[in-house]
């Protein structure tokens, strides 16, 4: 199964809309912040799904999937 390129594109373009890391692109959020969400609960909706996705990507060492998208910007 091929990763959803639109989803991955959102991870390198969308910025965190609130909190300590407001304005930080989702793919640049530190793992510690994502782990905090994992413990406390991810937000509802699209943002929560994207945060969970970047958490899984970082947890499993798959950040290389985002490299071509980052360099295209």
Q: What's the confidence (pLDDT) of residue 2?
A: 52
DSSP sequence for 11-51: HHH-B--SSTTTT-BGGGS-HHHHHHHHHH-PPSHHHHHHH
Work out the number of other CB atoms within 10 angstroms of the CB of residue 11: 22
54 class by beta-carbon count within 10 Å (0-12 exposed, 13-18 middle, 19+ buried): buried
Picking from 54, 38, 57, the residue whose alpha carbon sits closest to that of residue 46 is 54
pTM for this one? 0.89
Q: What's the confidence (pLDDT) of residue 60?
A: 96
Each domain of the chain, given as residue ranges in start order, spans 5-72
Q: What's the confidence (pLDDT) of residue 1?
A: 44
- The stretches in the chain having pLDDT less than 70 are 1-3, 72-73
Q: What's the confidence (pLDDT) of residue 29?
A: 97
């Amino acid at each position: 199964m091929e990763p959803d390129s639109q989803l991955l594109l959102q991870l390198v373009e969308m910025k965190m809309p609130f909190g300590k890391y407001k304005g930080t692109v989702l793919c640049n959020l530190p793992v510690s912040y994502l782990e905090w969400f994992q413990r406390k609960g991810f937000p509802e909706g699209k943002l929560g799904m994207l945060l969970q996705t970047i958490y899984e990507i970082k947890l499993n060492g798959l950040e290389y999937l985002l490299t071509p998208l980052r360099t295209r910007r």
